[in-house]
Amino acid sequence: MSTANSVSEKVITTHVLSEMKARGEKISMLTAYDYSMAKILDSAGIDVILVGDSASNVMAGNITTLPITLDQMIYHASSVQKAVNRSLIVVDLPFGTYQGDSREALHSAIRIMKETGCGAVKMEGGEEIADSIKNIISAGIPVMGHLGLTPQSINKFGTYAVRAKEEAEAKKLISDAHKLEEAGCFAIVIEKVPATLAGQIAKEVKIPIIGIGAGGYVDGQVLVLHDMLGINKEFSPRFLRRYADLFTTISDATKHYISDVKSGDFPNENEQY
Ligand code: KIV
């Protein structure tokens, strides 16, 4: 049992997550894309680390998640895996590596598992990718689903606004959540939908529902690390709580360093050989 000051030694598996849902313990999840950050999150006791394709935005500076490649995701995921002892690591299958056909989806998922040593993959979409999900799961690879606002489909949506406010889309979302559960997903991320709808889905399905901008009635929460640490200050949706202002902290430290170098204060007698 972990408390605010102690981290449980128990390694987190998909089975542990389902036990957490069964006993009403909320699941914590954050993104990470590199060794150093992953080490901090793992030792702090985060349950799930997502090597998200948001790496395309926060690490590579792209406007969308679409450009990131499978090779780039594998690079990020293997760096994260080397740092982690306890958390379950889930890796996003990037855009264009699973939507077409279920053999290609399986091939992409196998590459991630073989080349990174991580524990599961995440895929965006509902009924339309259920066959690919089944194919991947039958190869022994755990799959996390992702519904609601699915950023890989931004060109179809045209906006990052809240999804499933209308009845037809809400019905499709509920039906997709059941389809993903039937297909064998061990959990589903639901992004940016009304809180009551996400809460209803969390009640209806047995697998954990992890929300982002989906309110507090779900089984866990995920945020993008750079957003919650205040490294990336350009993105401030209503659902985002900032736990630090690292942009300012790092900027101030950098300015201090520049000033010390320019003035000759750094290095001093004790900082040289
Ligand atoms: O890529 C990502 O960071 C994600 C989260 C927003 C859930 O998919």
Largest CA distance in the chain: 71
pLDDT digits (tens, 9 = 90+) for 18-59: 999 999 999 999 999 999 999 999 999 999 999 999 999 999
Q: How many Cβ atoms are within 10 Å of 123's Cβ, its own excluded?
A: 24
115 is an active site residue: no
* Nearest ligand 1 atom, CA 222: 7
Is the minimum distance from the CB of 55 to ligand 1 under 6 angstroms? Answer: no
Query: Residue 234 pLDDT more than 90?
Result: no
The amino acid occupying position 158 is: G
**What are the helix (H) ranges across 153-245?**
154-157, 167-183, 195-204, 225-228
pLDDT at 256: 98
Would the CB of 52 count as within 6 Å of ligand 1? yes
**Top mutation candidate among 89, 152, 222, 228 for ligand 1, by most atoms within 8 Å of CB:** 222
pLDDT greater than 90 at residue 72: yes
Report, as an integer, the average pLDDT of 150-164. 96
Ligand 1 centroid distance, CA of 204 (Å): 23
How many Å apart are CA 139 and CA 94, to the nearest integer?
A: 19
CA distance 117 to 63: 29
pLDDT in tens, 13-24: 999 999 999 999
Alpha-carbon separation of residue 66 from 103, 142, 152, 251, 257 (angstroms): 21, 23, 6, 30, 37
pTM of the full structure: 0.96
From 104, 182, 191, 204, the catalytic residue: 191
pLDDT given at position 2:
45
238 pLDDT more than 50: yes
- Of the chain, the percentage scoring pLDDT greater than 90 comes to 94
Q: Is the CB of 92 under 6 A from ligand 1?
A: yes
- Average pLDDT of the residues of the chain: 96
Ligand 1 pocket test: which of 53, 54, 59, 66 has the largest number of ligand atoms within 8 Å of its C-beta?
Answer: 54
Q: Using N-to-C axis directions, what is the helix angle for 70-83 and 102-116, rounded to 10°?
A: 30
CB atoms within 10 A of CB 65: 21
What is the predicted pLDDT for the residue at 1?
45
pLDDT range class, residue 5, cuts 50, 70, 90:
low
Determine the distance separating the centroid of ligand 1 and the alpha carbon of 31, expressed in angstroms.
7
